Chain A
Amino acid sequence: MFVKNKKLFSDFLALIGNPVFEADTALFKETANPVIIMNKESAFCESCDKAAECSAEMEIYIPSFGRFIYRNSFSGDAGLLISLLCNIAGVMDEYRSISMQSDNYEFYRQLAKKVIDLNPHAISAIDADGAVIYQNIIAQNENWSDDRTKNAVTFPIFKGPKNLGRIVFMKSQPFSIQSALSAGNNREIAFHHILGTDPSITNCIDISMQVSAANSTTLILGESGTGKEIFAKAIHEASPRKNEAFVALNCAAIPENLLESELFGYVGGAFTDAKKGGKTGKIVAADRGTLFLDEIGDLPLSLQAKLLRVLQDKKVEPVGSVKSISVDVRYICATNQNIETLIKEKIFREDLYYRINVIPIHIPPLRTRKKDILILLHHNIKKYCVLNDKPFKNIDPLLVSLLVDYEWKGNVRELENVIEYAITVCNDDCITAGHLPAYLKTILSDKSEPGGMTEPVKKQQREHFQKLPCEDPVLAELIEKHGFGTQGKKQIALALDISLATLYRRIKKMKDHEGQK
């Protein structure tokens, strides 16, 4: 392990606690790799004479650099720390030849920001004049009263003799290494239901994972059926709000005159037929949680202005009420429309667009990530076999190749529906083109060869091939598939890319061979 900038490295470690630094010690003398010890669980501790009276909670040893010992002061995310340490080591090694001043500084700055954002405790960066430069989401929601801040830890940051400011760290809950270790995994687990290896979808997952830790309003864009709500749910599940409500509202599914009361709620007597006790709106229902506004492009213009005010003021005024209710909601919006066009057509407010478009995520259509189709087919076959309590079915590989080339205008939702249909109607072991919905059968039949395309390999054909291996098995198979009629022969000639005359010669040769046998 090579650490180019020891000062930056020390600062980085200081961000997650207050370690005591020691130079290289005899204990780790013969170790070439970095060592991280937690709660004395290491072979090094077993061989150490002072292990019994050692009070270290965690130790980090970096060869040719030194040893950092955390005594009751380690206060970060241990899983994250370990992966970052490894990253720093690897990346700094690569950057050995590059000037530290430019690239490494930017790298370190981003790392530090990430540590701050993902830390389960409140962290504030304050400049030399006392102004807050940066806060993580926990710090934004923290009560910085005198009572609480007396336990806060402050790390001053110097550049030479000049004081640049300080980092204030405040524990928001008792620290548990185990919970910190699982914190990083929870973020990934929330996205485990989203399948795909195409870079376009993995990028979306990466961005969403990062976004989940923050509180920013997110706009999910993508065609109908690409899985916008699944992404919204995953972002919520991976966020610090995961234990609070996830409330979804489809702006296009509710009549305009009801949408206002659905979204903002109303008080008793607000209008004719209003419930006596009033009704809680979706925004208030999502307080401290996440509100997912699907089809935001269909939100009526009159409500757009009202929603904009809620987003700006973080207060909601139910219909008929004169009092505002303060809310803390994370908004995720989604649409399959081009909002910029809607703005030009004056159907969507520009100011609301910029308010919701803080972090846009573009989910790619299924037809642009064809290599994921096989995985999605297999996953959904298993899913609907289990949910419908049916025996598992395989899918004909030739049908798979047809489905890979299909347009999938309804995206993943269409694929799921097609598989659900096929599972319901298929009583065989294998799903073939015959088990598809009628509309898809028509489209695919234009592309596929008639008959046999998805037929299982027939026993006779196999025996024929195996007993007469010197013959023309490909031709025999095609005859079996297309038949011996004129139309069939034309299709065989087409499939073999030979003329009809050549085909007749090959058939004759094959028959002669059979005669000899």
Chain B
Amino acid sequence: MKTIDQSWIMPLTYGGVFLGSGGGGHSLLLQLHLEELLKPGKTVTLLDLFEIRDQANYASICMMGSSELSDENPMTSTECTNIINRLSQLTNHKHSGLFALEAVSLNILYGVIGACVLGCPLVDGDAMGRAFPELQMTTFHINNIACNPCVFQDNRGNCYEIFQDDTFLLELGIRKVLFENGGIGFLAGYENPGSVIKKCLIPNTISFAAEIGREIVSAKSYQDMLAGLINVSKNSVYGKCIELFKGTVNEIERVQKLNWDNISLSGSGDYKNHTFSILVHNENLIAFKDNAIAAMVPDIITFVDLQRLKPVPNSEVKPGMELAVIGLPAPLALKTPRALDVVGPQCFGYKTRYRSLEQMNASYYFG
């Protein structure tokens, strides 16, 4: 059992951006809000998956919509109390704890905010292990578990109780409401007993994000940071991270019709005379080094700004920036054939068989 206090906010923020694989972002308002909630003396209990009780019920919360809009439409914390209470009324179950559906970007902080406001523990794990753009891209869906019932509240305070066994139809329904009502919403769902939660969640993702964040916050140089990140990630369910490239952003090209972006870089240092490009669809999905595949979703592809020594989401990447591209293998729960049917490259329209970072760099990973 660990406790989250104010000192976790910055590490969780940067760790969350790192695991976001270019998606999401960070919100200063959310950080300040959490800082206010976690006043000195106030903490949130972080439960290891082994510590949760089989018979007790746990539910997840998450923010949905555009991270850019979250600062324009600040949350008040009343919505998480509201949606969780409504869910509790629907199922007639009390919740012994919360878990984050997606422990990256804004949602990692939102999970802590929810647990803090409701005064319950947060489970150290999540159902995505990284950022994904759609609600069905979770380990629950991979295990055929529906988000039924779920409660959704839009930014205007309208609350919806949804009973939908098909998570894809649920995603479509919620997106429709999001587009019509401010672009930001809050969801509570996936209530399940501890025995099911243990089977579905990817373990230790919140504490891992914090450890990654601590390495980023304390790094004095890029070499220092990379060594620290490798050291932390090798001792996780993810696996050692790997430097894929270092260079300058040349161009960010948008293929409007297909809703893909292409970020291209030209190499520097050891990568001089090499090129690198990344296909982006909300998150960084496929990376190519000299036109050969270097990394693929669900493995994580993240940018680190070499000037500021901080991970950057795609929304902050600009031509001329000096970046390092870091790859982090996805946990096993996202790499099985069944999981790849839900979160693999083909699910985004890239019709190629998944090749993992470990396969492409076997000697680096396994000696």
Instruction: Report which A residues bind B (CB closer than 8 A).
Output: 79, 82-83, 86, 181-182, 185, 188, 192-193, 195-197, 372, 374-375, 378-379, 381-383, 386-387, 391-398, 401, 429-430, 456-457, 459, 462-463, 465-466, 469-470, 473-474, 477, 496
Cβ-based interface call for B223 (8 A): yes
> Can you list 15 A-B pairs with a CB-CB distance of less than 8 A?
A79-B223, A82-B220, A82-B221, A83-B224, A181-B223, A374-B237, A375-B235, A382-B358, A383-B358, A392-B332, A394-B339, A397-B198, A457-B145, A462-B146, A474-B55
Residue on B nearest A471 in the bound complex, by CB: B92
Which B231-249 residues sit within 8 Å CB-CB of chain A? 231, 234-237, 239-240
Q: A397-B203, A398-B198 are in contact. Are A386 and B366 (CB under 8 A)?
A: yes
When distances are taken between beta carbons in the complex, the residues of chain B under 8 Å from A378 are: 237, 239, 331-332
Cβ-based interface call for B199 (8 A): yes
Q: How far is the CA of A391 from the CA of B239 in the complex (A)?
A: 17
Q: How far is the CA of A195 from the CA of B365 in the complex (A)?
A: 12
**Residue of A185, A188, A379, A397 touching B199 (CB-CB under 8 A):** A397
Which B335-360 residues sit within 8 Å CB-CB of chain A? 335-339, 356, 358-359
- Whether the Cβ atoms of A466 and B332 lie closer than 8 Å is no
**Residue of B165, B234, B362 touching A387 (CB-CB under 8 A):** B362
**Residue of A185, A195, A372, A382 touching B227 (CB-CB under 8 A):** A185
- Whether the Cβ atoms of B337 and A188 lie closer than 8 Å is no
Residue on A nearest B200 in the bound complex, by CB: A457
Residue on A nearest B50 in the bound complex, by CB: A401
When distances are taken between beta carbons in the complex, the residues of chain A under 8 Å from B332 are: 378, 381-382, 392-395
- Whether the Cβ atoms of A469 and B90 lie closer than 8 Å is yes
- Whether the Cβ atoms of B365 and A382 lie closer than 8 Å is yes
Q: How far is the CA of A85 from the CA of B112 in the complex (A)?
A: 37
Q: How far is the CA of A196 from the CA of B257 in the complex (A)?
A: 47
Instruction: Report how many residues on chain B are interfacial, defined by Cβ distance under 8 Å.
Output: 53
When distances are taken between beta carbons in the complex, the residues of chain A under 8 Å from B337 are: 391-392, 429
- Whether the Cβ atoms of B93 and A469 lie closer than 8 Å is yes
Q: How far is the CA of A185 from the CA of B90 in the complex (A)?
A: 55
Q: How far in angstroms is the closest Cβ of chain B from A505? A: 17
**Residue of A397, A463, A477 touching B49 (CB-CB under 8 A):** A397
- 5 tightest Cβ-Cβ pairs between the two chains A and B: A392-B335, A429-B336, A469-B91, A474-B55, A378-B237
**Residue of B220, B235, B240, B366 touching A197 (CB-CB under 8 A):** B235
Which B173-199 residues sit within 8 Å CB-CB of chain A? 191-193, 195-196, 198-199
**Residue of B93, B236, B333 touching A375 (CB-CB under 8 A):** B236
Cβ-based interface call for B315 (8 A): no
Q: How far in angstroms is the closest Cβ of chain A from B353? A: 10
- Whether the Cβ atoms of B193 and A474 lie closer than 8 Å is yes
- Whether the Cβ atoms of B92 and A469 lie closer than 8 Å is yes
Q: How far is the CA of A369 from the CA of B367 in the complex (A)?
A: 23
When distances are taken between beta carbons in the complex, the residues of chain A under 8 Å from B335 are: 392
Q: How far is the CA of A386 from the CA of B149 in the complex (A)?
A: 39
Contact flags (1/0) for B256-271 with A, using CB distance below 8 Å?
0000000000000000
Q: How far is the CA of A459 from the CA of B165 in the complex (A)?
A: 12
Cβ-based interface call for B166 (8 A): no
Residue on B nearest A429 in the bound complex, by CB: B336
Q: How far in angstroms is the closest Cβ of chain A from B307? A: 11
Q: How far in angstroms is the closest Cβ of chain A from B38? A: 25
Cβ-based interface call for B54 (8 A): yes
When distances are taken between beta carbons in the complex, the residues of chain B under 8 Å from A381 are: 332
- Whether the Cβ atoms of A375 and B50 lie closer than 8 Å is no
- Whether the Cβ atoms of A374 and B336 lie closer than 8 Å is no
Q: How far is the CA of A362 from the CA of B84 in the complex (A)?
A: 51
The residue among B90, B146, B336, B356 with the most chain A CB atoms within 10 A of its own CB is B336
**Residue of B55, B143, B239 touching A456 (CB-CB under 8 A):** B143
Q: How far is the CA of A496 from the CA of B54 in the complex (A)?
A: 10
Q: How far in angstroms is the closest Cβ of chain B from A73? A: 23
Cβ-based interface call for B81 (8 A): no
- Whether the Cβ atoms of A393 and B336 lie closer than 8 Å is yes
Residue on A nearest B333 in the bound complex, by CB: A394
Q: How far is the CA of A193 from the CA of B149 in the complex (A)?
A: 45
Q: How far is the CA of A394 from the CA of B237 in the complex (A)?
A: 11
**Residue of B145, B203, B329, B339 touching A374 (CB-CB under 8 A):** B203
Q: How far is the CA of A463 from the CA of B148 in the complex (A)?
A: 10
**Residue of B234, B329, B338 touching A195 (CB-CB under 8 A):** B234
- Whether the Cβ atoms of B336 and A391 lie closer than 8 Å is yes
Q: How far is the CA of A466 from the CA of B144 in the complex (A)?
A: 12
The residue among B192, B195, B200, B367 with the most chain A CB atoms within 10 A of its own CB is B195
Contact flags (1/0) for B117-145 with A, using CB distance below 8 Å?
00000000000000000000000000111
When distances are taken between beta carbons in the complex, the residues of chain A under 8 Å from B240 are: 192
Q: How far is the CA of A130 from the CA of B362 in the complex (A)?
A: 53
- Whether the Cβ atoms of B362 and A462 lie closer than 8 Å is no
The residue among A181, A383, A395, A466 with the most chain B CB atoms within 10 A of its own CB is A466
- Whether the Cβ atoms of B366 and A473 lie closer than 8 Å is no
Cβ-based interface call for B217 (8 A): no
Q: How far is the CA of A372 from the CA of B332 in the complex (A)?
A: 17
Q: A185-B223, A429-B336 are in contact. Are A398 and B237 (CB under 8 A)?
A: no
Q: How far in angstroms is the closest Cβ of chain A from B326? A: 15
Q: How far is the CA of A361 from the CA of B352 in the complex (A)?
A: 48
When distances are taken between beta carbons in the complex, the residues of chain B under 8 Å from A477 are: 193, 195-196
Q: A382-B365, A383-B366 are in contact. Are A192 and B230 (CB under 8 A)?
A: yes
- Whether the Cβ atoms of A429 and B338 lie closer than 8 Å is yes
Residue on A nearest B228 in the bound complex, by CB: A188
Q: How far in angstroms is the closest Cβ of chain B from A79? A: 7
Q: How far is the CA of A82 from the CA of B224 in the complex (A)?
A: 11
Q: How far in angstroms is the closest Cβ of chain B from A14? A: 23
- Whether the Cβ atoms of B234 and A192 lie closer than 8 Å is yes
- Whether the Cβ atoms of A379 and B224 lie closer than 8 Å is no
Q: How far in angstroms is the closest Cβ of chain B from A496? A: 8
Q: How far is the CA of A82 from the CA of B92 in the complex (A)?
A: 59
Q: How far is the CA of A401 from the CA of B356 in the complex (A)?
A: 27
